Amino acid sequence: MPPSMVRRPLAAIARDLRDGRITSEQLVEEALDRIADPDGEGSRAFLTVYPDGARAAARAVDAMRREGMTISPLAGIPISVKEAFDVAGSAMHFGSKVYADGPKASRDAAVLRRIRAAGMVIVGRTNLPEFAFSTAGLNPHYGTPRNPYDRATGRIPGGSSSGAVVSVTDGMAAIALASDTGGSIRVPAALCGVTGFKPTARRVPLQGAGSLAKLLDSAGPIGHTVTCCAMLDAALRDEDCAWDSADVPPVGRLRFGVLRNYVTDDMDDAVAAAYERALAKLRDVGATLIDVTFPDVAKVVHANAKGGMQAAESFARHRHLIPQRAAEFDPRILARVMRGEGMTAADYLDTLRERAEVVEAFARLMRDYDALLLPTVPIVAPPLTRFEGDDAFFHKTQMALLKSAGLINFVDGCAVTLPCHAPGTAPVGLSLAAAGDSDAALLRTALAVEKLLRADVG
């Protein structure tokens, strides 16, 4: 892939825009060209593209800069938006055929209003599995974008933010707005070798966002660096986007818990090697790493045994469509939705009770550490061909991908995934997690770790 103005960290793009070395119109044209490339992944990564609106927005930002107006550092930078957020005048398909003719939104989702207020240019809405209900990233209705690693083989991108991650890796957007209910930001970021930030669920407003499980849903960025994620997170919170990274702790003074039960079971050799190598680098510079277990994970497993909050809420939300339109659903997603049919009100209340206990236990665990370290996913991205006609493999892979990332949603935490693989090898993610509402401190901790790891990452 040729050099790109778009496929770079936001801070570098913002400097070049500020200093006049590039224009927003140039950035947007490059992004649109990559989306439209017939040999690329644009047709599978995007469900909707806004070429005319994006060009007009870019020209407006360039005109403001020429006039010397003070505008956001992010103004004029192309961004993709997962098709899980309302756009005024458009229907939200939510990755499904059954909502293709649904009502059009009367206004933008809250996060889109903030993105537009920051002057960012929305180039389009990205693909996702039906109802955002799969971490594998497959969509039989609209196609599945291929992971940038080993395109010849054709591997899964991860989900549910499948189109979002490929829009970033392929330079179709500088950063992506995505959602995360059980790993949907971190799983694709890890499998595709970029950075993702899942904030505490209540950190960013979710009005106008499609929901999978309201207590677990969150909205956040997929980008190239921690600073990219922090800058967009600031915009989503309606704060200053010029994120100050000066107050980053020396990594040698940090104290980490290394989770050694449940999430490290059944790691494949490539993930285990990359993960242990990253831990060794932290030890080598003096960081304190202490192996820990989290016995309450048994409650997480029990609470999700019947499908969890996702299945219960998905069935409640879509049950009116199933009798007449079941054949239009992705059958694998329908099977997950139908698990909610067997859940009782008592089951749901038990889940809420167990979750409250686990959230409290996790907060106690994290009092002693700057972050918890764990592998983002235990496997590297499998080939798409492995899923053809093999529902058992799909469900096994789905559970493996959910294991680590979904745990953090359940404990009401926040997390960042960083690439930690060796150059030329399959992407692997290292997750740093913390208790809810520790987002700002976690981002700074992640930036310190990123500086240590980045020189060695492929």
Per the residue annotation, which of 80, 82, 167, 403 is the catalytic one?
82
**Cβ(138)–Cβ(159) below 8 Å:** yes
Angle of helix 391-410 versus helix 331-338 axis, rounded to 10: 50
CATH placement of domain 251-456: 3.90.1300.10
* pLDDT level of residue 2 (50, 70, 90 thresholds): low
Q: What is the pLDDT of residues 315-366, one digit of tens each?
A: 999 999 999 999 999 999 999 999 999 999 999 999 999 999 999 999 999 9
Structure token pair of residue 247: 């107050």
Q: CA distances (Å), 15 to each of 18, 175, 231, in order?
A: 5, 16, 13
Q: What is the pLDDT of residues 96-115, one digit of tens each?
A: 999 988 899 999 999 999 99
Strand order in the sheet with 371-375: 46-49, 121-126, 78-82, 175-179, 219-223, 195-198, 414-419, 429-434, 371-375, 255-259, 288-292
Q: In this predicted structure, what is the pLDDT of residue 386?
A: 97
Per the residue annotation, which of 24, 80, 134, 160 is the catalytic one?
160
Q: In this predicted structure, what is the pLDDT of residue 449?
A: 98
Q: What is the pLDDT of residues 30-59, one digit of tens each?
A: 999 999 999 999 999 999 999 999 999 999
**Cβ(424)–Cβ(458) below 8 Å:** yes
> Among all chains, which residue has been given the structure tokens 């209003």?
113
Any idea where the domains of the chain sit in the sequence? 10-236, 251-456
Structure token pair of residue 208: 């106008």
Q: Taking 80 as the threshold, does the pLDDT of residue 178 lie above it?
A: yes
Per the residue annotation, which of 184, 211, 314, 431 is the catalytic one?
184
Q: What is the pLDDT of residues 273-297, one digit of tens each?
A: 999 999 999 999 999 999 999 999 9
Nearest to 77 by CA among 12, 166, 147: 12
Domains 10-236 and 251-456 share a fold: yes
Our answer to whether residue 179 is catalytic in this structure is no
Q: What is the pLDDT of residues 209-244, one digit of tens each?
A: 999 999 999 999 999 999 999 999 999 999 988 777
CATH placement of domain 10-236: 3.90.1300.10
Q: Taking 80 as the threshold, does the pLDDT of residue 258 lie above it?
A: yes
Q: Taking 60 as the threshold, does the pLDDT of residue 458 lie above it?
A: no
- What is the reported pTM? 0.97
**Angle CA 161–421–374, to nearest 5:** 70
Q: Taking 70 as the threshold, does the pLDDT of residue 456 lie above it?
A: no
Our answer to whether residue 82 is catalytic in this structure is yes
User: What gap in Å lies between CA 172 and CA 163, rounded to an integer?
Assistant: 10
Mean pLDDT of the chain: 96
> Where are the extended beta strands (E) located within 159-229?
175-179, 195-198, 219-223
User: What gap in Å lies between CA 385 and CA 321, rounded to an integer?
Assistant: 30
